[in-house]
Amino acid sequence: MSAAEPNAPKPTHPQPDSDWWAEFDAAARRPLATRMRYAFIRTYKPVLDDARYRSFDSMEEYRAWCRDNLPDWLGFGPAQGSS
Amino acid sequence: MPFEYRQAQEVRDAFARESVRFLFIGKSGAILLGYPDTTQDADLFVEKSPENGRALVKALHSLGFDLTADQEAEIVHGKDFVQLKNGPFDLDLVFAPDGIPSFADAWARHVEVEGFPVCHPDDIIASKKAANRAKDRESLPRLQSFRDYWMAQQRRSRTL
């Protein structure tokens, strides 16, 4: 059905990111417990998962530790093109 | 074992019993708000004060986290970030997230979802922008779209 048709239902969320909004609408129809079951996953993260406890005096220290110790592909390092 | 709804409830209830002031933040917070995505850890923004730290340590013990005396002292007396993998599930405790001026600021605009205290999407986005990690930069456009969706839903629910 085209939006130009006079009796066409108005989109709930007329937004440019309509595919994403359709996903958000679908998620909103699920109970929270179901959403969480789909959302939380567990995979081994090298280095990061190898200690039972870590602490950092500052977020800067934590970011530096991630940059210097974790594999780049984990994505914890600074974004490319950033200072 | 991934973090489960039941465990989120246990966190919420244990923290409430000890009057811990905290908020779900990061992608786990966004998921509580309805954001469909995947994550591995639960991130908690915890108010940084000795009193709240002592309450937090009690709550963590009640949940089954195995903390040494030194670790307890660190949590009570002030670290900015603590990673716990010594309990029934993994928790990241963030006491000073990037991009958010203070816990009080975040608390003033936080959202409750089924009793879970959650940072406002604007704060979740601000912290991810400020952290500027590669994985965050990739996910930010979709998260910002979710923020717009969520705000539209809030406006709709107010007018119904």
pTM, to two decimals? 0.90
Identify which of B101, B99, B138, B120 has the alpha carbon closest to the alpha carbon of residue A74: B138
Chain A residues inside the 8 Å CB shell of B35 = 24, 27
Calpha distance B124→B81 (Å, rounded): 16
Residue pLDDT, tens place only, B91-137: 999 999 999 999 999 999 999 999 999 999 999 999 999 999 998 88
ipTM, interface predicted TM-score of the complex: 0.92
pLDDT at A6: 46
A11-49 pLDDT per residue, tens: 444 455 789 999 999 999 999 999 999 999 989 999 999
| Residue A37 tokens, joined | 């079951």
CB atoms B31 and A35 under 8 Å: yes
Give residue B114's domain range.
5-159
Query: Has residue B146 got a pLDDT over 70?
Result: yes
CATH number of the CATH domain containing B65: 3.30.460
How many domains are contained in chain B? 1
Q: What is the DSSP letter of A80?
A: T
Which is more confident, B137 or B65? B65
**Residue B73: closest C-alpha in chain A:** A55
